[in-house]
Amino acid sequence: MLQPVAPLPAPRTLTRHMAMELLTPGAAVRIDTTVGYSSRDPHALSIAFHLLDPGPVVWCLDREMILTGSHAPAGAGEVHLHPAPDGGLLMGLGPTGYRATVRCDQEELTRFARETFVLVPRGTEEQHIDWQPLLASLGR
C-alpha cells in the first residue's frame, strides 16, 4: 500500500539578469545572462547565456559549489569555479580542451545563491522535489 504523499510547497523562483564576460586570449567579451532558481530543482542554479543563437545556452550549477568556489577552487567534470584575484569568480565550463572561461561578479552571484537558501533552506531540498513523475515511470 502506498503511503500518502505530503503536498509539495508552492514553487518559488528567483531570476536576475547579470552581465558576465567570456575570457578569450585576446579580450573579455561581455555576455548577458539570466541566472535562475526554482525550488522544484532545489540544488541548482541555472545560468542562461544569451548569445547569438536563437536560444540561450543554459548551464546548471550546484548552489553549494558556487558558495564554495567563491572562496577556494571547487568543481569537477565540466564545471570548475575559483575566485579571481580581482574579486571576480571564474567559471570553467565544458570538457577539458574545449573549456570556456567565464568571469562574473563574485559578490553578485554569491548573493543570489544565498537568497536561494532563504527560499529553500539546507536540508529541506527533497521536500520541494516532485517525485511523482519518476515513481510513475517506474510503475510505482
Domain span at residue 22 reads 13-137
Phi and psi at residue 79, to the nearest 5°: -130, 120
User: Is position 8 within any domain?
Assistant: no
Would you state the cell numbers that stand for residue 118, as one nine-digit string?
A: 532563504
**86-112 confidence digits (pLDDT tens):** 999 999 999 999 999 999 999 999 999
Other CB atoms within a 10 A radius of the CB of residue 20 amount to 23
User: Is position 44 within any domain?
Assistant: yes
Chain mean pLDDT for the chain: 91
**58-74 confidence digits (pLDDT tens):** 999 999 999 999 999 99
Amino acid at 38: S
> Structure pTM?
0.87
User: Is position 53 within any domain?
Assistant: yes
Contact call for residues 119 and 14 (beta carbons, < 8 A): yes
Q: Structurally, how many domains does the chain consist of?
A: 1
User: Is position 4 within any domain?
Assistant: no
Residues 49, 97, 86, 74, CA torsion sign: positive
The CATH number of the domain holding residue 76 is: 2.30.31.20
Q: Which residue has the cell 568543481?
A: 75
User: Is position 5 within any domain?
Assistant: no
User: Is position 17 within any domain?
Assistant: yes
